[in-house]
Amino acid sequence: MSLISSSTVPPKTNYDVFLSFRGSDTRINFTSHLYAALRRSHITTFVDDTRLERGEEISPNLLKAIEESKMSIVIFSKYYASSRWCLTELVHIIECMKSIKRMVLPIFYHVDPTDVRNQTGIFADGFLKVKERCGDVEMIERWISVLKEAANLSGWDSNNYRSESELCEAVVKQILNKLYPAYYSACSNLCGIDSHINKLLSFLSLGSKDVRFIGIWGMGGIGKTTIAEVLLSRISDQFDDCCFESNIREKSEKDKPVHLRKCLFSKLLQNENLSMEMYHVIPTFVLDMLRRKKVFIVLDDVNDFEQLEALAGNHDWFGPGSRVIVTSRDKEVLNNGVDDIYEVKGLKDSDSFQLLSMKAFKQKHPPKDFIELSVRVVKYAKGVPLALKVLGSHLCKRSQKEWESALDKLKQFPDSKIQKILEVSYDMLEQNEKDIFLDIACFFKGQDKDWVEDILNGGGAASMGINRLKDKCLVVIDKNKLEMHDLIQEMGQDIARRTDSQLWNSTNIYDTLITEMMKEAVEGIFLDMSKIGKDTNIDAIFETSQTKELQFLPNKLRLLHWEDYPYKSLPSNFFMENLVELNMKGSKVEQLWNGNKCPQRLKWLVLSESKHLKSLPDLSSASNLEEIILSSCKNLIDIPTSIQCLHKLVALDLHGCEKLRTLPKLAQLESLRFLCLVECSNLQMLLEVPRGIEILELEGCGLEEWSQDHRFFSNLEFLSIQQCKNLRSLPSIYLNSIEKLSLRYCSSLNKLPGITGNNIKELDLSYTAIEELPSTNERLSSLYELDVEGCKRLENLSVNICLLKSLGRLNLSGCSKLSKLPDLHGLCYLRQLFLNNCNKLEGLPKLPSQLEVLEASNCRLLKTAVSCIRPIEPGQLRGAAFKFNFVNCLNLDQNARSNIMGDAELRIKEIAICMVKELQLFYLDFDLALPGSETPEWFSFQTPGSSLNVDQLFPSNFISTLLDFAFCIVVEYQGPAVTLKEYSHFYLLVTCKCCLKTTKGNRQATITHYIYHGWPPFESDHVYLWYNHPETRDLSGWLRQNRDSVYEASFQFEAKCVHGGNVKLKRCGVHLLSAGNESRSQATDVNFMWKSLQSVRDSLHSRLTVIYEEEEQPPTRLKQLPRFYKLHGYR
């Protein structure tokens, strides 16, 4: 049934992309990956992820979704044509393509496009079945027709891509190009832009692989930013990643250059967790990742060379072909850091004429009667685009007489700067619009639009005024933030200086406050006392120099933002009836006011870092208060009970109020969502908090008990109780919305309550005094990570732990009384197990077969260990770093050592084969460390000492099947002793210099590998064995290509302790991983490789216990932590 109307007007689009797929084929693999990639790129995608595809009729809503999508992506898979549902979808998709011009792009997922076109091959099986069930000849013919049409469309064949991620990336990139072409409509009215872009393209030399820095230089308002934006939009598809960093000058006033660098690199590398704290040091892994990318960066409005140096200090930071554009008003900044400078000059008269006409008359040319007037405006603006846009917008729909008047006014400033041209726009505003404009220019640029409307005390009137300013090109609203061009802001601030209606500058405030006659005209003060000059005579503000008190503040004040306020209280005659925000961060105030005040309009109260504040006044009349920020008020003793009257209060921040001893009951505050009591070290008891609380931070507070019934916290999204060292007990915890619960370092907590939370994914109980784990394991069905590190009283691990079916990471390190582990084999998703420093542990039980990391260093009584490795099946390997650490496990018996080494041999061979099949999808490595003085018997080449020479390698037919190299060393630690206080881990850097000699020439390579584990260093000889594919794949590939001419190889090993200790290499070994003595064609056949690998398994069968089990997909990992409230006090 078609929902397309007969009208030629296509339906409104609600989606960018509609995904058509066969659920049983691709839902949990490729389709889910593609859908995630589309969402990451902010492409609105319709995916019917609830359909069963069992019925015969397709939902009308689904057909409607197809019509309302800009394009459809059809994923043809093996059994796509076996679904009548899918075929009906496809018919409608093709109909929409023809009738309403919707785009269609096919993906041929493991099927040949020809088979789809002709319904042959593996694609034919499913289609034959649906044909037999259908019986409608006409419908079948229609299906055949649309399959042929769709298969003839340009799309993607999955067989042409090495990995699904690469295919998803290609699809998303193409979709973005089709949905959002480079020449977007917003650029259509940019007069004269093409000449700038063409000149810049010649500067950029895009065909060159050199890294080039280009400066765009010109005065404010001349169009530098616009040119850079358009350039980015037109060539962004030629780069791996692009980033536009705007307003560098303004951001540098608020943040240090190293913070700006972190923000830029985080965007380029799509990693928000980069650690970059030092200006002169950049982590090598960050530079390494950047150098692999061809990036396009725009650094907008740079006014200091330090900014450029921090963000793009050197050409070799970025990959070949990268380009960096820097816009600046200061040519000297660019001279020191770019390859070429492009000067942006004013628009040509013809372009200026067109731009003015578009703004004033909404057409390319002015009406005949306005030509002369337009010429005069263009002549006055002198090619500055911003001036033309503002003047044109303000003269729009004005009469000739009004044009004449405006031009006459311009004559008063023939040689003025651009700011005075812009003031003409201000003069044309209504009085209330002027007030709003000046407020934004002085206080609110970059602030949230809704918050500003509240401050401006007018609701609808303020909103209308802001919209008028937007229409006049005086204000831009970007992501609900109020933005303003620098020139316009400077013009507004210049007007404010002359009228004294807004006080934000130290000198203005000083001059105005001593003129009492002006006080009632002031409606806003924004002052940072740290910026007042040392010579300023502050005493002149007082009535008498003896009082040392502020004598007045204007009663019309709506905003008082006075950082480092130097007085003990507010003036007694300041009634605050108009005040909306009071922000006195870092003040010396001891008491806000005396007597009864009525701040009914007050919404935000910020007194953070006011170290002399001991108490708050009666707040019962401040019924509109939404946020109270009192962080780091170190002498605050109590909170008044009148806070219980603040029914609109959303956030209460008492972080670092060290002397706070009690809190009134907060249960009546039904709007409270955020409560922070971090480091309230004297707060011993927490009474009831509201049921609607969402974020509760108690970290490091002095809480001893918390008796509230937690069952009512249905909205709680984030709870932090860690480092509450006095906390002795907790009630039963019902946390159905929380994903992470941390009780870390609650060192007095010796017993846990029942913990229930189906969404909890991380539970951290480390360094508590618990003696046993809670018994409600079955109620933690989503728990992925359990950390009980350092729980020195924990003696037993209950068998109930196997009820944690989703557990993927278990940390028991430092549980020094733990002597026995239960059978953990039932934890089928467990990937990482940490047992370091479990000093009484004597044996390892049957462990999960898919374990990837086992850390058991310094388990000195550990004697037994069984094999725990499950064979990898083709296609099941995912990215992993396999690590098995038995450092200082000196009591391991021979059976345990044999099992460990046998596991290592099998796993390394499997990884090497998988790397051929998975075709570099993942970079896998393997590490093993255990006590011993001999290299494994199965290593191809081994010798005493640190160097290995091989005069005769294997025959060429063996090398032709070479997969990779594995390495092994035996190390003796020779000191000196280093204390734990100096280092928490032992680091060993191993390098292997390889030289392969052939009759055609030599190949040299240096392979590096880091080895690290817990403290202390090894106490006897230890064997280290590793395989690292990224480091060796080029070498093994070269060796295969030159197999007939290689005649000698040498390997020189070196080891160095990072902390400065000494080590001696006693033995070394190299192992050639090969598919076997078969032909090269067989070596490239993956099925053969797996059969070859089976022989390795069989040979190890007598000493390996290999466990075979069916696996499900691993559970979903922890999502991003819930948002915190954006507190206005932290602006």
Tell me the torsion sign for CA atoms 576, 582, 588, 593.
positive
Backbone φ and ψ of 930, nearest 5°: -160, 160
Q: How many Å apart are CA 367 and CA 346, to the nearest integer?
A: 24
Write phi, then psi, for 509 (nearest 5 degrees). -65, -45
Cα Rg of the chain (Å, integer): 36
Question: Distance (Å, rounded) from C-alpha 372 to C-alpha 375?
Answer: 5
CA 266 to chain centre: 7
Classify the phi-psi angles of 182: left when phi > 0, otherwise alpha if psi is within -120 to 50, otherwise beta. Answer: alpha
User: Is residue 95 within 8 Å of 43, Cβ to Cβ?
Assistant: no
Cα–Cα distance between 489 and 438 in angstroms, integer? 8
DSSP string, 414-432: TT--HHHHHHHHHHTS-HH
- Cross-strand partners of 212: 323
The residues, ordered by sequence, that sit 6+ positions from 307 with a Cβ below 8 Å of its Cβ are: 248, 249, 252, 257, 260, 299
Q: Find the helix or strand (DSSP H, E) in which 130 lies.
A: helix 122-134
CA pair distance 576, 1120, nearest whole angstrom: 41
Polymer length in residues for the chain: 1131
Q: 89 an active-site residue?
A: yes
Q: What is the residue-wise DSSP string for 1023-1083?
A: EEEEEEHHHHHHHHHHHHHTTTTEEEEEEEEEEEETTS-EEEEEEEEEEEEES-SS-HHHH
Token readout for 444 is 């609110």
Q: Which of these is catalytic: 67, 89, 694, 905?
A: 89
Check if the beta carbon of residue 17 is closer than 8 Å to that of residue 175.
Answer: yes
* DSSP letter (8 states) at residue 442: I
- The answer to whether 44 touches 19, Cβ cutoff 8 Å, is no
Helix 418-427 vs helix 486-499: crossing angle, to nearest 10: 70
How many C-beta atoms surround the C-beta of residue 796 within 10 A?
14
Q: Pairing mode, if any, of strands 985-998 and 1046-1057?
A: antiparallel
Element (H, E) at 9: none
Written as six digits, the tokens of 712 are 């009512």
Is the distance from CB of 865 to CB of 892 less than 8 angstroms? yes
Comparing CA positions, the residue from 1073, 1069, 1068, 1079 lying closest to residue 1096 is 1073
Residue labelled with tokens 């345990």:
896
What pairs with residue 562 in β-bridges? Answer: 527
Least Cα distance to 878 among 834, 824, 917, 905 occurs for: 917
Q: What is the Cα–Cα distance from 170 to 255, expressed in whole angstroms?
A: 37
With beta carbons less than 8 A apart as the criterion, state whether 823 and 841 touch.
Answer: no
Query: In sequence order, what are the beta bridge partners of 809?
Result: 785, 832
Query: Are the CB atoms for 237 and 292 separated by under 8 Å?
Result: no
416 class by beta-carbon count within 10 Å (0-12 exposed, 13-18 middle, 19+ buried): exposed
Catalytic (active-site) positions: 89
